[in-house]
Structure 1
């Protein structure tokens, strides 16, 4: 196809033809240029996307004010927040359960958390020592003289005021943790300045026949464990 025919088909002006002859390679004119009869629509002819099926009913109108649907949107956000909060709490609970189980005492330790003791073989004025939770427990069968003496003590004379009735369930039996409240030494039963009392050899604390601190550095009375009498001959500690 010659250049003249190309210019006619493409409707080029004469000066454009002259420029083409000077600058375009000769091979350019070997191609068969034909005018296209295709009709290319403008971008305005492309239909707009419609997302109506994805809209929630309160939001179907794109021209509506956001304040008209704020309650609906907040309700959905609150629902998701509630579900997320429940999931978070459940996860925290699962972790806390694992930590609690890890820190809880072993089964063999729990098995020794309570113990039963026969008190039939403890004579008056004597003390039996049993082990409970790794601590010594003093079970003292008190004489009537010791009971009367401790009940007559004036509370104003005590560093840690407690009546004798507050420290015993049965007058003839005193059950206490055999550990000095000063630095944790084990006192000696039936020793010290008070009949039927206890004496700590470590730093010289004296306790009376009710386990109350009377002299020395011990700040408080000896501890009373949790216990009960199953019958007249059996004591349950724990």
Structure 2
């Protein structure tokens, strides 16, 4: 009987016990090339995206107006001033006790945009009403902040463009405006200085 003889192929490598060929894991050259390509693509994408996002940041002149400080020491009760913040007019009004009483007497539920005077002012500073001077209908500047201007039948502000009338708390009472005059972010730095923005 003939016996089979084992002949080793010189081109075949012997398997390495525990090596990547045996367990199917471990880095291969193709894996390294894939990781390198993805890394270079990520760096390239960041190099393109960062300038695009950066150009959307506000310019220096806008950042300079991000907040303003206003001296309110010379505003007597019953008077208001206009100032500019972010290219929009702002009304700062020192309400009299009678104006505060008139605003508090209005039932909040009867308002189109229900807010009390306390909701629109800071605690302990109820006499200081600070609003954007932009009508919420179509963006006109209402009258009532300047000396001798028409304040409307509710004693606040009157928009001459389409007839919106605001009360002493700058709440919409009559006309097409859908909401009250907007109260911007503000804080009191002292009893005489307010920071808007």
TM-score strictly above 0.5: yes
Moved over 2 A (4+): 48-52, 55-59, 68-74, 79-97
- Larger relative contact order, structure 1 or 2 (CA cutoff 8 Å, min sep 6): 2
Count of aligned pairs between the two proteins: 179
SS at match of 1:95: helix
SS at match of 1:165: helix
Partner residue of 2:157? 198
1:111 to 59, 64, 72: 64
Partner residue of 2:188? 229
C-alpha distance in 2 between matches for 1:94 and 1:162: 49
CA distances 1:118-167 after superposition (whole Å, capped 9, x unpaired): 10111111110000110000000100011111122212211111111110
Partner residue of 1:71? 25
Partner residue of 2:54? 101
SS at match of 2:140: coil
C-alpha distance in 1 between matches for 2:117 and 2:132: 16
Gaps of 5+ in 1: 1-47, 60-67
C-alpha distance in 2 between matches for 1:80 and 1:208: 71
From the superposition, tell whether residues 99 and 50 of structure 1 become closer, same or farther in structure 2 (CA, over 3 Å): same
From the superposition, tell whether residues 71 and 200 of structure 1 become closer, same or farther in structure 2 (CA, over 3 Å): same
Partner residue of 1:26? none
2:170 to 199, 206, 211: 211
SS at match of 2:184: coil
CA radius of gyration, larger in: 1
Deviation at 1:107, TM superposition (A): 1.1
CA distances 1:25-56 after superposition (whole Å, capped 9, x unpaired): xxxxxxxxxxxxxxxxxxxxxxx98596xx99
Q: TM-score, normalised by structure 2?
A: 0.79
Partner residue of 2:144? 189
2:119 to 166, 184, 190: 166
Gaps of 5+ in 2: 1-8, 146-150
SS at match of 2:84: strand
2:100 to 138, 141, 147: 147
